[in-house]
Structure 1
Amino acid sequence: MTEDYLKIQKQGVFSAGGTFQQAAGTFDPINGQMAPAGQTRHADHASVLYQLPVDGNGHAMMFLHGYGQSRTGWMSTPDGRPGFSDIFLKKGYGVYLIDQPRRGEAGQSSVATQIPATPDDQNWFTQFRLGLWPNFIENTAFPKDDASLDQFFRQMTPDTGEFDIPVITSALVAAYEKSGPAVLVSHSQGGVPGWFIGMASENVTGIIAIEPGTFVFPEDEVPDIIPTKYPMPVQGVGVPAKDFAELVKKPIAIYFGDNIPSEPSNVPAWDFWRGVKQLANEFVATVNRHGGDAKVVYLPDEGIHGNDHFMFEDLNNQEVADHMGNWMAERNL
């Protein structure tokens, strides 16, 4: 019987990028502890937890979470099974797990914000395609017991400052300067800065985008807005042609889970994903037209069923990871 455990050669945590502020005046350590005069603030950095396996395959992956999430979502599953970080460590990859600026362990912000405390779990249950509360989608691969759902909801964590794409991009480029070459794995909201990180860093060797919120296009090739019933429009973002040309150099795979309607849906959140998937196909066509290597992977077409927005936490996350691993191996990533 073979023991199932991880063999870690090296691990640690570091901060990357960020801002430095200093208030005018001179700090008085005796009488001025609570006054800003002369004091400094280190903020807006990324926090990076990394693990490097024994007998690695020579490649690495950097994981960037989505909205309301942190790196913990990659580390385990709501029912306690191994997460993507352990799965890919066993495949021989070094893993770098990000908390983006103003989120999670990188919560120190240079700008103030008000953190809401409004109950909203059921909204995310629908948005993430688990089902229509209180009912799960029939074929869902999400663990449906109460304890797992409780753990899933407790992953949510707020922004401690404005979501700022340039700030996130700058911090992640700095993280890549420390990590060296790695595939960028982005999720949901993280897919938006993910495109800019891919354009800005030569160390991004490829991109796996898990249901990203939107896509970039050359400024003169941005498609029309895709109408959906969701209150936020589905539309691309224009970038300079020279920046898009940098992105095109990297192999790109965009993964979508199951239960995305092919026709307009009366559920606004699900109709949103219909529009995003349509926009993904237009993005892939644009990348490939410019000489790139991009594809949309719709998991049901690959024989992998029941996945929601969090395919890396589902009961079949090993099967999803194997598919991604094969895609990377085919490209020597």
Structure 2
Amino acid sequence: MKLRKLVTFFVAVSVMMFSVVAYGADDSLKIKDIGSFYVGGHEIVLEGLPAYDAVFTEGGPVRKVDPNGSFETGQMYVQYVQLKNAKAKYPVLLWHGGGLTGNTWETKADGNPGWQMFFLKAGHNVYVSDAVERGRSSWSRYPEIYKSEPIFRTKKESWESFRIGPTYDDDPSKRISHPGVLFPAESFDQFMKSAVPRWITNNQATQEAYDQLVQKVGPAVIVVHSQSGAFGARAALNAPDKVKAVVLIEPSGAPDPAKENLALLKNIPHLYIWGDNVDKYPTWPKYYANVARYRDALIENGVPVTWIDLPKIGIKGNSHMLMMDKNSDQIAEIIQKWLESQNLMK
């Protein structure tokens, strides 16, 4: 593989290491509309389940609950903020990772503004979604509708797998962070309040909802994180006329390149960004290698690819949650400058 074809983008990034431009610093965001909608989903009918009695409010009457009937399942919630004078050609769609919701992008765990605000100030209309089964998208009965039980990520697993530190303890004073880690460890417990259950049998419904979102909103730029990396990559394959760029923040999966017509993506630039300490965990090198295999296949098929390992260009200490790290605006600016370099602004 001739990786010299890989677009490095390092010159511009090196400049940004020393200063961060305050997009929209005059605090004069002019909003045209704020709203939400649902995409995806279908009706399902449940039958033969036993009814039961329940009291819904303190002091309320006993009511009969009949769980049989028609329900909606597989829907996805999307919130949008549209600017009066957007500077970007296309809206930015922000897709979160596993066991999380769109809250990932709204406000950081330490209370500072998240990437939703950053990209609004940079001139983009922004769409933040809660994937199928997450947050305001709601979830459905198990095992009648969902075929696997919910999985809940523990605080210990999150501390370690999100590469915040090697040692978790329920006593915050005994937790050990990686040297120089930029995730605000003092805000970790607050961050974990945003964790939600996930299911391993809903990938098809989730992909269908994301694809419908692209059809409804596109053309658009997709920014994905972790689990949604595979959904974003496939969304581009499913709608190469609507997806104008894909930004992948530490994607944990990718389609099998041997089964895809990657030449469809030759006009869709891809940006990959990776944080620090990937090599210190048994799972992350496997994720990294799998995604790198997909990257190499993209390059072979003439797809413009930019691959940034932040530590290799002197930006060290980023966790898996780059959009919540203390230098998250610096990372967002790298993305913004890349979008500008791809002629995706007006």
How does the TM-score come out when normalised to structure 2? 0.78
Which structure would you say has the larger RCO, counting Cα contacts within 8 Å and 6 or more residues apart?
A: 2
Kept in 1: contact 2:271–2:307 (CA 8 A): yes
SS of corresponding position for 1:216: coil
Of 211, 222, 234, the residue aligned with 1:173 is 211
8 Å CA contact 2:222–2:246 kept in 1: the answer is yes
Q: Aligned pairs, how many?
A: 293
Q: Which residue of 1 aligns with 2:70?
A: 40
Alignment-derived partner of residue 127 in structure 1: 161
How do residues 220-259 of structure 1 correspond to structure 2 at under 5 angstroms?
A: 239=259, 241-242=260-261, 244-259=262-277
Q: Could you say which residue in structure 1 is the equivalent of 2:128? A: 97
Q: Report the more deviating stretch, 101-110 or 47-56.
A: 101-110
Given that 1:141 and 1:315 are in contact with CA atoms closer than 8 Å, whether structure 2 keeps it comes out as yes
Alignment equivalent of 2:98, drawn from 39, 53, 67:
67
CA distance in 2, matches of 1:213, 1:290: 22
Q: Do structure 1's residue 19 and structure 2's residue 30 form an aligned pair?
A: no
**1:4 maps to 2:35:** no
Partners of 1:59 and 1:92 within 8 A in 2: no
For residue 212 of structure 1, what is the amino acid of its counterpart? P
Q: Could you tell me which residue of structure 2 aligns to residue 209 of structure 1?
A: 248
* TM-aligned CA deviation for residue 211 of structure 1: 0.7
Cα deviations across residues 209-254 of structure 1 (Å, max 9, x unaligned)? 11111222332xxxxxxxxxxxxxxxxxxx3x33x33344421111
Instruction: Measure how far apart 1:54 and its partner are.
Output: 2.9
- Is the aligned partner of 1:195 residue 2:233? yes
Moved more, 108-117 or 95-104: 108-117
Cα deviation digits, residues 56-88 of structure 1 (max 9, x gap): 113211111111100001001111111000000
Provide the secondary structure at the position in 1 that maps to 2:94: strand
Contact 1:69 1:156 in 2 (8 A): yes
3-state DSSP class of the match of 1:17?
strand
Alignment partners' CA distance in 1, 2:243 and 2:140: 26
In structure 2, how many angstroms separate the alpha carbons of the residues matched to 1:162 and 1:116? Answer: 8
Letter matched to residue 305 of structure 2: A
Partners of 1:83 and 1:192 in 2: CA distance: 23
**Which residue in the other structure is 1:274 paired with?**
285
Paired letter, 2:162: F
Aligned to 2:79: 49
Unaligned runs of 5+ in 2: 1-24, 49-62, 168-174
- Deviation readout 1:157-203 (Å, 9 max, x if unpaired): 112x5442221111111112221211111111111222221111232
Q: Does structure 2 retain, via aligned residues, the 8 Å contact 1:254–1:280?
A: no
Structure 1 gaps, min length 5: 26-31, 220-238
CA RMSD of aligned residues (A): 2.3
Q: What TM-score, normalized to structure 1?
A: 0.81
Q: Identical aligned pairs, as a percentage? A: 27
C-alpha change, 1:23 and 1:116, in structure 2 (3 Å) is closer
Q: Write the letter of the residue equivalent to 1:323.
A: I
1:281–1:296 CA contact under 8 A, matched in 2: no
Please identify runs of 4+ aligned residues in structure 1 that moved more than 6 A: none
Aligned partners of 2:136 and 2:36: how far apart in 1?
10
Q: Which residue of 1 aligns with 2:257?
A: 218
- Name the counterpart of 2:10: none
The Cα of 1:122 is off from its aligned counterpart by 1.1
Q: How much has 1:36 moved relative to structure 2?
A: 5.5
Question: Which amino acid in structure 1 is aligned with residue 336 of structure 2?
Answer: G
* Helix, strand or coil at the partner of 2:284: helix
2: CA distance, partners of 1:300 / 1:114 = 38
Correspondent of 1:319 among 330, 333, 346: 330
Q: Summarize deviations over 1:77-100 as a string: whole Å, max 9, x none.
A: 111111000000000011111111
Change in CA separation of 1:300 and 1:162 when aligned onto 2, cut-off 3 Å: closer
